[in-house]
Structure 1
């Protein structure tokens, strides 16, 4: 009996036929028959099947290669996407850290500026003695015929001629020149609205309208005007003119200056 086997794309349908032939050959062998008469066609059919399988096997191999290529491409794209995501995340973290560092620097700068402004504000509002390392040689309201009012309208600080005289605090010069009995004198309107006067100076170091700060040298002590010797006459006033004087010692002490 001849076995007809389809070729090409119908190869798979012939596999049971080949199996049947093999089983038949084995059955004949078991019955003591001739093996070659059955086995030879089956072997020939197997060889023929292998020849016809070549095209399909090639297609399967190409299909596997294509699938592997697509999978490798997908893996590469995924790895590239993950790398891009990691890079973007790192850049975002670096940007945030840089912005935070910038904010810290800016905050530190502002804090430093605030501290500097506060320190300057305190400095400008501090008070110092008009003559350093000195003492009051004539007190406020001391009585004597030396003064036209009959009493002392300020206090005298011991100071040799040429000693540096300082503004006691911040203010604006409203008078700088000859003051009659006061000799060369300076009157300053302080930032708090009060006035201070410095008399009997040997020289002046400021002019009207000039702004002065605490401890700034404004002149040198002397003995000009109505005086018996070099010293600094210092007055504290509520106004710019003579007669508005207040206790200079109490004034200085109220601003933290011992006199």
Structure 2
């Protein structure tokens, strides 16, 4: 009985075809292995060369990177140091400025304290009263009677003083009269700061002029024996006005201003 091969796309591959492919693959592999074995020395040498070059390149790259990192770190350190220095300088300037302000404020306060003290001292000095003649005493009292005085009594007090003795203003004020005063001889009349008046008579010479401001203890004249006198001395009066007849007790007046008479 005869058989025929089926035709068409459903035909089954022949067993030899698959086996041949396998054999061809083994041959190719064997050939490749052999060729590869023969070429191995040269390939190994090239590979070694390529490996050595790569290692050198990597080493150089690492050295360069380390150098760059070190430079960057140094630059950062320098920048940090510059910032720290700038901050320190700024802080020092602020501290110096603050210390300067504090010193100026302290100096200003001290000046103000000294100025207030000076003003207070000046105020006290100007309000102070002194005796018209240093180290003297009252030789003739107020309202002492006698024919030597035209009013019949003494309108002031006399301080013992030799001719040429310095005569002081008893307080601060302004000179309103100087020159000849009749029975008083050479005289000085001063309007005091409290509105009262003081008069100094029988002077040998006068050292101030009308309109001049005087201070407590300032020399205004020297004593003498001009006018109606029996000897050298200083005649002193306290008055409510500049003219004769407005007298008040000069001892009480001086004591009322703190002068021990």
- Output the TM-score relative to the length of structure 1: 0.79
1:161 aligned residue (128, 151, 163): 163
1:182 aligned residue (181, 184, 191): 184
1:29-56 deviation line (CA, Å, top 9, x unaligned): xxxxxxxxx9xx8898566423333323
Distance in 1 separating the partners of 2:111 and 2:226:
50
Distance in 2 separating the partners of 1:222 and 1:52:
127
How far did residue 102 of structure 1 move?
2.7
SS at match of 2:179: strand
How far did residue 197 of structure 1 move?
0.3
Matches within 5 A, 1:2-151: 45=47, 48-151=50-153
Q: Over aligned residue pairs, what C-alpha RMSD do you find?
A: 2.3
Segments of 5+ residues of structure 1 without an aligned counterpart are: 3-37
How far did residue 154 of structure 1 move?
0.7
- Which stretches of structure 1, 4 residues or longer, exceed 6 Å deviation after superposition? 41-44
What residue number does 1:222 align with? 224
SS at match of 1:175: strand
How far did residue 65 of structure 1 move?
2.1
What residue number does 2:203 align with? 201
Deviates more, 1:94-103 or 1:147-156: 94-103
Distance in 2 separating the partners of 1:74 and 1:218:
84
Distance in 1 separating the partners of 2:204 and 2:59:
121
Distance in 1 separating the partners of 2:230 and 2:247:
22
SS at match of 1:118: helix
Aligned residues: 224
SS at match of 2:176: strand
What residue number does 2:9 align with? none
How far did residue 131 of structure 1 move?
1.0
How far did residue 198 of structure 1 move?
0.5
In terms of Rg, which structure is larger?
A: 2
Distance in 1 separating the partners of 2:63 and 2:223:
113
